[in-house]
Amino acid sequence: MGSHAAMPDIGAILSQLTLEEKVSLLAGKNFWETVDIPEKGVHSVKVSDGPNGARGATFKNGPTAACFPASCLLAATWDVEAARNIGNALAEEAQSKGARALLAPTVCPHRHPLGGRNFESFSEDPLLAGKMAAQYISGLQEKGVAATIKHFAANEQETCRFTVDAHISERALREIYLKPFEIAIKEANPMAVMTSYNILNGHHADSSDFLLKDVLRGQWGWNGLVMSDWGGTNSTAESIQAGLDLEMPGPTKWRTAEAVLEGIKAGRVSEKTINDRARNVLEFVAKLRCFEDPTILEEKAINKPEHQRLIRSVGGQGLVLLKNDNEILPLNKERLANKKVALLGFAKDGLIHGGGSASVNAHYRVTPEEGLRAALGDAVEFEYAQGAHTFRQLPLMDKMVVDRDGHPGWTLDFFLSEEPTGEPSSSKHSDVPTYMPIFVKEAWGSAKATGRFTPKQSGRHYLGMSGLGRSKIVIDGKTVYEQKENCPDSMAFLLGGVKEPEVQWDFEAGKSYTMEVITLKPSKSGGIALLDGYLGFRFGFMTEEEHNRDLLSEAVEVAKRSDLAIVFTGHTPDWETEGQDQISFNLPSNGSQDRLVTSVSAANSNTIVVNCTGVAVGMPWLENVKAVVQAWFPGQEAGNAIADVLTGAVNPSGRLPVSFPRRLEDAPAHGNFPGEYIDGQLHVTYEEGVFVGYRHYDRSEEHRSQVLFPFGHGLSYTTFTHSNPRVTASDDAEEFKITIDVTNTGSRAGADVVQVYAGAKVASIEDPVKELVGFAKVHLAPRGSKTATIRFNARQLAHFSESSKRWELKQGEYEITIGRSVQDVIAKVTVSAAARSYEL
């Protein structure tokens, strides 16, 4: 952080507070702010989501914000400087929303390709994730904004994320799942840590002595603020005693003065612990200079040109060229002069972010079509076709419907009773049949949306509905669909990721129908406590003609009359989102995108696929297409970043931060994700132990063949050679330095990523063959050469021993592998290490 006045005397402030006031500091004031006590000079801190943009206080349609590339793309740059620059810019964005702390970064490793929030995090490899996170945190905090590293720990799935019990060996925890936290905390010292929702080895993370006392504050010596995930506090005395300083959001559910004082009286929590927790909150407030200037600024949308340039630049750096047969890429005006190019799939959509906490109301979004038109201008004739139905929810029913007074839209009636009978207590007009009050908790027991629908065409049309509580669709007094249970994950409902069953109903053109959606208050929200008792529903509609339109044939015809076809595939935020894991390894919906690529590539031999997902996906059509670009979620400049790489304005230098398996069955966690129910509770056992991602595929030639694209893979438009690999050890053999000369032998400027792996020359069956120990990104002009230098320490060769509870390095020879990817080996060098043991 920059220079500022001396820290206030926290002890003196603490001594002025009553016990009740200290307790009040241990939970939020509201959804985004900590508690203030103005008469005692204590001020609030405002926080904001999230990892790829500071959204501010409003989930939807608030002031616009810059949308940065997702962390999976950031990791694909393998560029720690890019991570620091993104952190700097995110700090400025947070400040524009009046926030002094950002709820980011997310660092949990990618355990399985179906992980719903993988895109928010960096990598399957803890070193890459930890190094990128450390620079991201440093970038935030040097600009005066606190980082909140999350979710501590073992939040690798969304299925039953509030209650799932993850069973993980201590070795796997230490070597894989805690490691990115350890690296980032020791290198960058984030001001805050957020606990995860899940249970770990029988203990909720927010009250885990192992996580909070033993590891975080004990062995790692970290001293900052621990906050819960939103609605992720599960006890009163236990969470306070374990080390959870701040329950979020507020007002408190667990930490009322009465509940805490009762805990003190019963001896379950001590006054000293209350003081410790309150001190951590006050020190957090002080570090963020709230005692000097308590102002929480009004939220503003500030669209900075320098942020636009950074987002475009980093987006282009993180795109990974997976395949490029016959050098079909890059495209340029000369090659495409007077040619026809088919733009298919999501060409007119900007798939810029995933769903959930990472979603922002972006300042703007550049679509691939817009980016390519700007790059190639009038030299090329473009033709577009959608090609595939990809919706997860039917669009809201907002046409051909009038409310009770005859105005376009719906009448919403609210009732105090649990059933919507008699006269409503309140009514209002709504343009669309949806209701989601996020921050104003209205005490209604039930609600009903009513509209008169007069269809323009006859047919068996489609309806879709979901509610937080039990709900039903009624047409002319007849129940046509009933949701008999609460929504299983209310956060998924809130964020648009609930897959609604589709109901078909025969309508006659010109005839009027009374449409009603009835929803009841949920007895429990189905997961996230902060939505307990809220009413919420949405109602979608699509005509038979729209629903069943043959988009595929249209796209194939466009492809046939084009010289080149580019198919844009991917996940919209309702398919890849917080709140639920992916439902399929294949692109949604129901194989429609795979059929599109397969059919287009059969019609046009020059087919290129650009895929926007935060995870590995199945590519059954890979052999039939000429090129594939993995574009992740590139942020608001998506179309420009994609066009930069496709046209060669940017030479692709991204490398995969995750392995792409051929089949879902080839994933190391397959069969142990998302777990199994025992007595009604989901349990997941991390049977694969430390063999996550490439560590698993590296075990044998058979396993390596299960990989479609290996960890670290990525192509370029130029070529690199490597020579003169050297390893030198420090006098005490605690540090190793690897150098290798890299030469750009092509005619284009480009960047290579030198990856260094290490492992015992004769690997034990219990240990990975090799693990990433360092990397360097080298930028080179045509024909230019540089020496890449990578350092790592001997402790990185050690493994955690569950018997000795230490890191043990075995005596022997270790093989240092330098590669273009984990499988594409450039050189190997052998070093010797003496046996030694390391403290935690």
Please identify every residue annotated as catalytic: 229
Give the HSE-up count for residue 617: Cα atoms under 13 Å, Cβ half-sphere.
Answer: 33
In the numeric block, the tokens 């005596």 are attached to 811
Residues ≥6 apart with Cβ < 8 Å to 315: 69, 73, 634, 635, 637, 638, 640, 641, 642
User: Coil, strand, or helix at residue 328?
Assistant: coil
Q: What does the radius of gyration of the chain's CA atoms come to, in whole angstroms?
A: 28
Q: What is the DSSP string of 464-476?
A: EEEESSSEEEEET
Q: Which two tokens stand for residue 525?
A: 């929200």
Amino acid 817 reads T
User: Coil, strand, or helix at residue 783?
Assistant: coil
- Tell me 667's DSSP state: S
Do residues 240 and 270 make contact, with C-beta atoms less than 8 angstroms apart? no
CB contact burial 731-768 (16+ within 10 A = b; e otherwise): eeeeebebbbebbbebeeebbbbbbbbbbbeeeeeebb
CB contact burial 163-197 (16+ within 10 A = b; e otherwise): ebbbbbbeebbbbbbbbbbbbbbeebebbbbbbbb
> Which candidate, 712, 713, 695, places its Cα nearest to that of 704?
695
Q: What is the DSSP string of 232-261?
A: ----SHHHHHHT--BBSSSS-SS--HHHHH
How far apart CA 741 and CA 724 sit, in angstroms, is 6
The alpha carbon of 746 is separated from its chain's Cα centroid by a whole number of angstroms, namely 36
The count of other CB atoms within 10 Å of the CB of residue 680 is: 6
Q: Which stretches of 62-213 are DSSP H helices?
A: 71-77, 80-96, 126-141, 170-172, 179-188
The count of other CB atoms within 10 Å of the CB of residue 524 is: 12
> Which candidate, 184, 160, 32, places its Cα nearest to that of 105?
184
Q: Which two tokens stand for residue 597?
A: 């690529």
In which order are the strands placed within the sheet that holds 825-833?
771-780, 750-760, 812-819, 825-833
Helices 126-141 and 179-188: crossing angle in degrees, nearest 10, is 30
How far apart CA 386 and CA 586 sit, in angstroms, is 18
CA distances from 44 to 40, 95, 99, 658, 795 (A): 12, 15, 10, 40, 42
How far apart CA 21 and CA 36 sit, in angstroms, is 10
CA distances from 146 to 137, 216, 291 (A): 8, 18, 15
User: Coil, strand, or helix at residue 427?
Assistant: strand
User: Coil, strand, or helix at residue 229?
Assistant: coil
In the numeric block, the tokens 């970290």 are attached to 222
How far apart CA 431 and CA 408 sit, in angstroms, is 7
How far apart CA 192 and CA 148 sit, in angstroms, is 4
How far apart CA 89 and CA 65 sit, in angstroms, is 12
Cis omega before residue 113 (within 30°)? no
401-402 vs 446-453, strand pairing mode: antiparallel
